[in-house]
Amino acid sequence: MANRKAVLTDRYIQSIKPEEKEKFYSDYDSLYLRVGPSSEGGGKTWRFRYNKTSKSLGKYDANLAEVREEVREYRKKLAKGIDPFKKKKKKLEFASDFVEAYANLKKLDKESAEYKKVDRDVTCFITSQGDRAPHEYGKADINEFISERLEVITKKGTPLKTGAVRRELNSISAVFNFVYEEHEIDHFHRFRKLKVPNENEDRKEREDFTSDQLNILREIVAGSDNIREQIIGLLIDTGMRSSEAVGLASGDIKLGKIPHIVLHRNPLRRLKTKNSQRIIPLVGSSLSAARCLDRSNEWLFPKYLKTLNGKSSANTAVNKRLRRILGPSSPTSHSFRHTLKTRLRNFECPGYMQDELGGWSKNISDMYGTPTDIKNKAEYIEKSLDWVTEIL
């Protein structure tokens, strides 16, 4: 090897002039020089061929001897079965490293709401307890973080709810647990079965709409061309979330023999859970609102689609309209879901059917169902149109 005659020399390389097409000049050990075409400036770069592929070793800079030595080291590693060009996985040494690893495993877009949430929650924990490997945090560290979060005062001037702290903990635990599992990390960590003191004792139960309030809303939204009132109309007798309603495409509304909505995932609106995918009959105010919708465009409420217009303000807009109609103490749009469940329960609608209508079912309903299923569900909602608030 040491006695071989050199194929290239720095002097010879410097004398090479670019031609119309690119040209390659061989040297030792699968090393060669590429000279680009004159149309591209005739740049000179090193290439190393191995395993039926090639790797760029950078521009020529009168460094022939250095590159040859570099190639010798590469060939030694290849002879031992080591790929010198294989990218090394980033070591997961600190909690902050786990967010990117989690995103890569889940294939999360860094602009997505899910990525931003886990990044925010893990960063919040690191800010409190320092950036260490997850298994280096003790239960005392985690409990200290929980105590700190429970003492946070929100913009409304009230302490952070225990439910909000639970969601943060679930987010942090999901990142660590998933990455530890997928990367087969053997260290034991303590982000499991975490407890929040007095959890849910501070939860305020959502107030149902009264039958009188529903009647007032029905009269106002009937035949309305106001977008917010049309959304309210859709919510009254379907139990949809406002985010589900504003994400509807025109093709999701079926006004045939048995009017209904096909609620499914689409590119511009995620559903809260996989069970949220369902078929909802259209009756009462919701059917009336559906018939008034402008279905000439692809999306029914493009103004409120988050992907098209940044952060969605639909829920805020609908709640503001509800307060204007019913007063400042009006229940929120989410209360339509709870109210519908109460109405259906009063008319002895089977529990499984209530869960399917609201998307609470543990098993995903048949996406296309059967006409009988849809008709039966529609009949229960129609019965509940006559619901009257019980006076205790």
Q: Indicate the residue type of 9.
A: T
| 119 pLDDT more than 80 | yes
Give tens-digit pLDDT for 290-333: 999 999 999 999 888 765 554 557 888 999 999 999 999 999 99
**Average pLDDT value over all residues in the chain:** 86
pLDDT at residue number 366: 45
pLDDT at residue number 130: 93
Average pLDDT over residues 272-295: 87
- Sign, CA dihedral 158-164-165-166, equals positive
- Using CA atoms, how far residue 48 sits from 52, 60, 61, 62, 63, in Å, is 10, 13, 16, 17, 15
pLDDT at residue number 61: 83
Residue among 64, 61, 54 nearest 85 (CA): 54
pTM above 0.85? no
Of the pLDDT bands very low, low, confident and very high (cuts 50, 70, 90), residue 186 is: confident
**Distance (Å, whole) CA 263 – CA 274:** 11
Question: Starting at the edge strand that comes first in sequence, how are the strands of the sheet with 253-254 ordered?
Answer: 253-254, 260-263, 278-281
**Distance (Å, whole) CA 29 – CA 10:** 17
Query: pLDDT exceeding 90 applies to what percent of the chain?
Result: 48
154 vs 204 pLDDT, higher one: 154
pLDDT at residue number 87: 61
Average pLDDT over residues 151-157: 88
Average pLDDT over residues 334-362: 87
**Distance (Å, whole) CA 197 – CA 358:** 31
Average pLDDT over residues 94-106: 92
Of the pLDDT bands very low, low, confident and very high (cuts 50, 70, 90), residue 364 is: very low
Average pLDDT over residues 239-265: 90
Q: Look up tokens 């990218």; give the residue.
A: 87
3-state secondary structure at position 353: helix
For the chain, list the strands marked E by DSSP: 23-26, 31-35, 44-50, 53-59, 253-254, 260-263, 278-281
**Distance (Å, whole) CA 81 – CA 49:** 16
Average pLDDT over residues 114-122: 93
| 282 pLDDT more than 70 | yes
**Distance (Å, whole) CA 289 – CA 222:** 7
330 vs 29 pLDDT, higher one: 330
Of the pLDDT bands very low, low, confident and very high (cuts 50, 70, 90), residue 268 is: low
